[in-house]
Amino acid sequence: MPARVSPTDRIHAKIDALFAEGRELPEILEETARLGAQLLMQTALEAEVTEFLGRERYQRAATTPDAAEGSRNGHRPVTVKTTSGPVTLERPKLRGTTEKFASRLFGKHVTRSNALESLVIASFVRGLSVRDVEATLAEALGDQAAISKSTVATVCQTIRDEYQQWSQRRLDEVTLDYLFLLFLDASFFRMHPGSPAEPILAAWGMTTAGKPVFIGLAPGSGESTDAWADFLTDLHDRGLASPLLIISDGAKGLIAAAEQVFPRALRQRCLIHRLRNIAAKIPTGMQPEIRDAYWKLFDTRDLDISPGPKLVAAIDRRITAFADKYRGLYPAAMRILETDRAGLTAYLRFPREHHVRIRHSNFIERTFGETKRRTKVIGRFPGETSAVSLVWAVLDRASAGWRGVTMTPAGTRLLQDLRRSLLEPPRELHAAAGRSDQQAPHFATAIA
């Protein structure tokens, strides 16, 4: 087998060779299960590296704006214990990276896979009942696997109990610089018989130490202000203090609720969502040109300006020039660009090394993409509790591998200054704010 063949292709070849031997199926069942587990986990590992670097094997250019630096540098063997016995994987090695790659499956040093729990989660996400899951596991692991209905039910109940505890925990000790809010598409979550699909609201953030943390998840009645206000108020009532910056898409209900519950936080509109809105008004043939020009607007590498109002002003001038250039051809698209311009540049007040991470809200959406593709084809989940707890299980386990942001001394000082100016204003400003509550929601946008 050539050395340049990928580990997953080598496993496929072993499976093909196994069945080509002409042996009876019962004789090769155990080996098939082991190779199947090996293929599943090896594929997941390679996909994680692709997401981390933002490009496939042998692809030079990254496809995402927040891709990590570095490149693949071969593999090293690692042994993982599964229900099918020990499995050897080829763990990818990287070079030239500025941050460590941590697998969501195994972390940095874990060599044991919770295979049963993972199979149950995956099966329920596909819309199977407890009895269906039991049959599916028996097919996957063999009739002698001894996985009973009670075992499956216990795993599922454990997941639900963990979610309930997590959703009610206090948040007093969580101090965020950045809070990301995401509306998980309502077209994928059918929770009640005879009812339309419902959305799930999600929140995660970056702490003052630069660490990612999964904050909240709950069903929502839609993207209305009331739905988001209830969600954010629950986080606030459980002790979550105001972040410095809230990053979200452009949903009006979400924006209104964020300004209502956390009026002093700055607000950043997701640049990726805004580009999608603009591209929808542009002919297909011109979209690549507009997209490239759009991202150049926010490229600050050629500007010797420190983060703050001057950098915001410089990018705002670029936006004006861009809109003037294309307004005659695409007036509807340029109106979208110029709506809430302050929301496009708020992130420029924060440490430069954080910019590519805090200018969009797509992180959880990418993490949850595969699960959404699976749930799209099912009729409905077993119920609201099952749906939300299983979504939580996927995201909670994925969050172990989420990347944080680098905290430098200069960046820390900048964030501390922003915290004092935004969240700890002089006493006379507190009094003024109390006399003009009607204007409070516009505070963050005005200084952005």
- Output the CA–CA distances (angstroms, integers) from residue 125 to 122, 368, 390, in the order listed: 5, 12, 7
At residue 207, the pLDDT reads 95
Q: What is the mean pLDDT of each run of 10 residues along the chain (448 residues)?
A: 70 75 60 69 78 76 67 81 68 80 56 48 48 54 48 66 90 94 58 65 92 88 82 95 91 88 94 93 94 95 94 96 96 93 95 93 63 46 67 72 87 95 69 47 40
| Contact in structure between 7 and 75 (CB atoms under 8 Å) | yes
CA separation for the pair 236, 242 (Å, rounded)? 8
CA separation for the pair 175, 245 (Å, rounded)? 12
Question: Of 218, 269, 217, whose CA–CA distance to 248 is shortest?
Answer: 269
Residue 92 three-state SS = strand
Fill in the amino acid letter for 269. R
Fill in the amino acid letter for 179. L
Residue whose token pair is 């981390």:
52
Q: What does the block give as tokens for 26?
A: 């019962």
At residue 39, the pLDDT reads 74
CA separation for the pair 365, 304 (Å, rounded)? 33
pTM: 0.65
- Output the CA–CA distances (angstroms, integers) from residue 154 to 78, 148, 157, 279, 391, in the order listed: 30, 10, 5, 48, 18
In a 13 Å sphere around the CA of 18, the CA atoms on its Cβ side amount to 18
CA separation for the pair 100, 6 (Å, rounded)? 22
At residue 437, the pLDDT reads 45
Residue whose token pair is 């430069």:
352
Supply φ then ψ for residue 167, to 5 degrees. Answer: -75, -15
Burial class of residue 438, CB neighbours in 10 A (0-12, 13-18, 19+): exposed
Supply φ then ψ for residue 104, to 5 degrees. Answer: -70, -25
Q: Output the DSSP codes for 342-383.
A: HHHHGGGGS-GGGHHHHS---HHHHHTHHHHHHHTTSS--S-
If one counts every other C-beta atom within 10 angstroms of the C-beta of residue 116, the result is: 17
Residues in the chain: 448
Supply φ then ψ for residue 222, to 5 degrees. Answer: 155, -170
At residue 43, the pLDDT reads 77
Question: Of 135, 48, 107, 118, whose CA–CA distance to 83 is shortest?
Answer: 118
- Output the CA–CA distances (angstroms, integers) from residue 201 to 83, 183, 193, 215, in the order listed: 34, 5, 21, 11
Q: What does the block give as tokens for 273?
A: 């969502």
Q: What does the block give as tokens for 311?
A: 């950098």
| 93 CB-near residues (< 8 Å, 6+ apart) | 72, 73, 74, 75, 76
Q: What does the block give as tokens for 230?
A: 């209830």
At residue 374, the pLDDT reads 44
| Contact in structure between 242 and 262 (CB atoms under 8 Å) | yes
Task: For the chain, give percent helix, strand, coil, nearest 5.
Answer: 55, 15, 35
| 21 CB-near residues (< 8 Å, 6+ apart) | 28
Question: Of 214, 213, 220, whose CA–CA distance to 183 is shortest?
Answer: 220
Element (H, E) at 65: none
CA separation for the pair 259, 267 (Å, rounded)? 8
